[in-house]
Structure 1
């Protein structure tokens, strides 16, 4: 459909025609800032809810007579305003199973929202109109298809709501009326829906701003500025291509480029009488732009007409050179590795509508977590976000609004190439190329944008060749990315990058070893759904290959929506797919962020921050080795903090000047205290951390960028005989231990300790039970872990005590319970309590190993303690939970948390709160009374308000009692637990090296004492 031929009558057939996507819409243009006036139409609009079969395009306001009328804010989504039901699907179309439209037809069951509002022109807008200028209406974001009227005049039709759509409404405003009306009919579905099958909540409505733009008759219509940087010489080459609409013979231009400090470094005066204007300049010693040092220059263009200024526009630019050299990504002459995350625009209360505060928060958190890049999955983002990426320093893969996964993928990831959209079906070419072109024209000037992406998970086809070629025509400098060609290698030439989705480390390494002709990029990897991101270190280890360009974790923020109270929830709760009775749905599959919905970091963020760190430390008794790939701030704003920890407590600390150069290894000589290095009574840990010495735009001084620890020495544990005045009583049914008001009781029939108290304060609710099970994680469920290891679900939980032995000796009584694991052939686990004369109890549980069994989720005991026991203090790996395949970022120290704080509020309750590498822990009540557990070696520990069985049975946290209303507190003491995985959440198991081998022996050995 032509963008220039005006059509005055709306046609409902456009909804089903892939070649009708921009009726009367103007070509996309750059988002430079202008002195030309604009007027916001944000605010309260009336909305009438109707359907595609009831709305009349001949008289759209009739919908307001049908009764279902509301007032809502714009921008907003209809779903988060409670007007349309939220729906979440991944691959499948939201109408699948309800009806079966054949592409390109849209479903007949289609909701429609008719928007309207009145407005008076601001004085400056009216003056521009009176001076023979023009006025446009601009829609920054919407879904899915719009018909627009102003003062009863049909204005146009548009799709692709993730780049701005502008329409000239000058003629419609030519009447005498001062008050004007705008009406927008928003369709839930159109043929564009086949191109917008992104894995996300399906939001609709005017979700970004709506405004009027008034432009003088002579104005800068489009601006393309390129600022190239030569790292060898420090020289910058600057080019400007401007489209001057309405240029006259007397039109002049003044161009200036200002450095970051405001100093003008380039000036040009000259005529601008032609529609196209090209300027260029060479500058010496420019400040290059990078994520670590985002130096921005400001271009100012002033148009004149001989009598004065007509328009002044500004555009920030950054001098940088991003290119592919010998299959290696380079920026400003240095290798660049993307340590990135995918990002949906999402807010749990406003859906797709993002505030400036939301965007700044996301960027600051990325910087704090050492994330250096964002992929705008899977549509161009609000242009304010790119402004912020330019300013704060984040690299961006800018992706076109295109995903057609559901058109070619059937259950089981079985492709059907013949049905792929767009494929080589050229009726889709115009719409797809237009989406790419609109993105490039709009976002061209942002230095943060390094790569254009043609879309996501849309197979291959000739249409992608067309998009690829158009991208390079518009912007020869930026590489083009498209992962879909991996499904159809005939179209491998439609991407400059070998990009794969959720490829395993071994497969990536195979590519990197085979003389790659393209750099490798994981456009999506490490699916961060629930308790995940185990094994990230296997991917970052591939950075040793020059052609490895890094990857983008899926994704940044959990996508769950706040939902009103239900009878069970008792209050507002976070809802995922299906909670709104949306069917079909894909349940919690959208809750896969590094951050929780409220933007607090998930536990896996600890590992992301560590493995993405630009500077790594290896402390030793001689020095601190420093390996830097980049500097997160100016060297003068960084310090190296050296510490010595003795048994987890800081015993010495000193700050040093930061010594690091990107791409190099260096060393810092440290004067570690000799007495601590010689200490044999404590575990001595050497620690080095990179710390911000000054505030930055993204974080305050004191922020720790990265930490490295080395265990220098561990004390030898002497096996000394305990001493004390404890008395023992061996009865027929029970065995007792008493010292003053300290009393313990073991039952011959209950299978363990049933009482341990000091005075009236009890420390035991139930005897410890063997556990070989953990609540399934999202990854466990996705790869069939529950099915494959079902034997371990019951083996410990239903183990039977088949024998009890009591042995009295000098200074102790040993009670051994022999447990037969449920469902397994003659696997006996002796659980041994040694009551000792000093009032302590040594508890051991020994799993002997057995052949022919799947690997174990874990081994140890789970112990129900009184609900009053609520506080965990431990010396081990913290501060948040860690797992065998996600140890990076966890540091040795003394940490503490309440039982409720041990819960990581993943969307679906699952395994959480685990701390491996624990030397000792204390679990206490509000008065400080409780138990101390000392490990013989190391153990894993968690203290939670719920049992593993309770967590496993719940699908929402609100289904469990409130922590303060719980019946008990649950302490787990484990010898080992398998990793959590994260290669994906639908089939890839935990890597072999992070499993617990069922054929090996596991020994839990701890000493218990009262506090």
Structure 2
């Protein structure tokens, strides 16, 4: 009998069914199809016109300067690049000498309305990032008060207190301005909800041990019910506590999670893992937090505005973006990994009054969704997702690429996998705001 449907493969494409809203894949496709490309240097701009018949003078062109996501200036320039040719133009301004991170974007937009888009619609862009280094101002942190208990370790500081548990193996409480910020122990995470491409190339079967490692890692000593005691180190203006977690893999592997608490409420966090060759690479290397669902507003300084992945960053721009947690849940027919942001320098997750948590790091991967990877993986339709109880935050060094050469066997390219031949370390910080 002939099968009458290809199921969710029938929803493959760059727009959703129904209203044909754009899916998060659209910016990457648009960027790779654009007929004008731009190479940006500190003092020169090279424009390559790949159009067969259209000169670049048919479009408005502007050079935009931003500092750490904030607008500085926009300067229009005239370009006259014939079809299938190149030209160079001087940068219309000098980069500031003031230390900071600067984004220079060259944008081509429609001069007039057309049948397919309005005037001002961007048809092509290029962006380059420049860093001006300066001396770091080392601030003096207020002191921390440490309370040693039989099973717990408490830390108090400026407007915050935290509680670490030896019995439960992690950070069990972080209160800022009198309000509890976390609702579950932050734990190392190595898993993502498999995508359609993942299922097509049997990723869940090949990487399944990392799902178990994420769900069942423990601080208990192997073969006993004894706790593996954390290592505590007091310093002049901070205190650090390191937990060792054992993972139920074959062969067994361990990872370490270190919290360093400062007096202003900042907790510098470090996840470390020495790769076990037989286990290979993992889908993700990071830490998962669960906070109250009232924290539903997201702001990030990184690539955007749509989701990005290691092998899908083209079409994104560095900037400051805002949305709601629910907006990061892509409307795929089968719930799966979505909503990731790459190149993140900082991210805020807050309630509507602006209270919440700030995460900061160097080119992190970051996501804030209403569900854990396991909850999404267990649902075959959106209506099967459970009621929303938490905002689930994943802060990661990296996540493997989403692949897509085809969806029936092609794997993620090697350059977009996490390395397995070197120690993995990931540092970031978080604090209440």
TM over 0.5: yes
CA distance in 2, matches of 1:774, 1:846: 19
What SS is found at the alignment partner of 1:889? coil
2:358 and 2:432 in contact (8 A); partners too: yes
RCO higher in 1 or 2 (8 Å CA, sep ≥ 6)?
2
Q: Indicate which of 863, 869, 878 corresponds to 2:289.
A: 863
What whole-Å deviation, never above 9, does each CA across 1:589-610 have from its counterpart, x for those lacking one? 1110111112111111111111
CA distance in 1, matches of 2:106, 2:209: 44
CA distance in 2, matches of 1:949, 1:587: 22
What SS is found at the alignment partner of 2:327? helix
Offset, 1:771: 0.9
CA distance in 1, matches of 2:186, 2:275: 21
Report whether the alignment pairs 1:607 with 2:25.
Answer: no
Q: Aligned in 2, Cα 1:737/1:760: closer, same or farther, shift over 3 Å?
A: same
2:54 and 2:83 in contact (8 A); partners too: no
Q: Indicate which of 782, 789, 805 corresponds to 2:207.
A: 789
> Equivalent residues in 2 for 1:374-389 (5 A)?
none
CA distance in 2, matches of 1:951, 1:832: 28
Q: Indicate which of 573, 576, 596 corresponds to 2:16.
A: 596
Q: Which runs of 5+ in 2 are unaligned?
A: 221-227
What SS is found at the alignment partner of 1:789? helix
Which residue number in structure 2 is paired with residue 667 of structure 1?
Answer: 88
CA distance in 2, matches of 1:729, 1:773: 35
What whole-Å deviation, never above 9, does each CA across 1:348-381 have from its counterpart, x for those lacking one? xxxxxxxxxxxxxxxxxxxxxxxxxxxxxxxxxx
Q: Aligned in 2, Cα 1:976/1:717: closer, same or farther, shift over 3 Å?
A: farther
Offset, 1:741: 4.2
What whole-Å deviation, never above 9, does each CA across 1:22-67 have from its counterpart, x for those lacking one? xxxxxxxxxxxxxxxxxxxxxxxxxxxxxxxxxxxxxxxxxxxxxx
Q: Indicate which of 937, 940, 943 corresponds to 2:368.
A: 943
Report whether the alignment pairs 1:752 with 2:176.
Answer: no
What SS is found at the alignment partner of 1:852? helix
CA distance in 2, matches of 1:728, 1:702: 58
Q: Indicate which of 12, 37, 40 corresponds to 1:616.
A: 37
Which residue number in structure 2 is paired with residue 647 of structure 1?
Answer: 68
What SS is found at the alignment partner of 1:989? coil
Which residue number in structure 2 is paired with residue 873 of structure 1?
Answer: 299
What whole-Å deviation, never above 9, does each CA across 1:512-565 have from its counterpart, x for those lacking one? xxxxxxxxxxxxxxxxxxxxxxxxxxxxxxxxxxxxxxxxxxxxxxxxxxxxxx
Offset, 1:926: 1.1
Which residue number in structure 2 is paired with residue 887 of structure 1?
Answer: 313
Give the helix-richer structure, 1 or 2: 1
Q: Aligned in 2, Cα 1:847/1:718: closer, same or farther, shift over 3 Å?
A: farther
Offset, 1:784: 0.7
Q: Aligned in 2, Cα 1:890/1:814: closer, same or farther, shift over 3 Å?
A: same
CA distance in 1, matches of 2:370, 2:135: 33
CA distance in 1, matches of 2:43, 2:307: 32
> Equivalent residues in 2 for 1:878-917 (5 A)?
878-917=304-343
Which residue number in structure 1 is paired with residue 123 of structure 2?
Answer: 705
User: What TM-score, normalized to structure 1?
Assistant: 0.41
1:795 and 1:824 in contact (8 A); partners too: no
Which residue number in structure 2 is paired with residue 971 of structure 1?
Answer: 393
Report whether the alignment pairs 1:989 with 2:408.
Answer: no
Offset, 1:717: 7.3
* Backbone CA RMSD of aligned residues: 1.9
Q: Indicate which of 123, 135, 150 corresponds to 1:732.
A: 150
Q: Indicate which of 423, 430, 433 corresponds to 1:1008.
A: 430
Q: Aligned in 2, Cα 1:633/1:757: closer, same or farther, shift over 3 Å?
A: farther
2:159 and 2:265 in contact (8 A); partners too: no
Which residue number in structure 2 is paired with residue 567 of structure 1?
Answer: none
Q: Indicate which of 263, 269, 275 corresponds to 1:849.
A: 275
Offset, 1:821: 1.8
Q: Indicate which of 95, 98, 102 corresponds to 1:679.
A: 98
Q: Aligned in 2, Cα 1:719/1:858: closer, same or farther, shift over 3 Å?
A: farther
Offset, 1:644: 1.3
What SS is found at the alignment partner of 2:287? strand
> Equivalent residues in 2 for 1:808-847 (5 A)?
808-847=234-273
Q: Aligned in 2, Cα 1:631/1:923: closer, same or farther, shift over 3 Å?
A: farther
What SS is found at the alignment partner of 1:869? coil
What SS is found at the alignment partner of 1:800? coil
1:620 and 1:686 in contact (8 A); partners too: no
Which residue number in structure 1 is paired with residue 349 of structure 2?
Answer: 923
CA distance in 2, matches of 1:944, 1:903: 7
Offset, 1:687: 1.3
Aligned residues: 424
Which residue number in structure 2 is paired with residue 587 of structure 1?
Answer: 7
User: What TM-score, normalized to structure 2?
Assistant: 0.93
What whole-Å deviation, never above 9, does each CA across 1:413-454 have from its counterpart, x for those lacking one? xxxxxxxxxxxxxxxxxxxxxxxxxxxxxxxxxxxxxxxxxx
Larger gyration radius, structure 1 or structure 2: 1
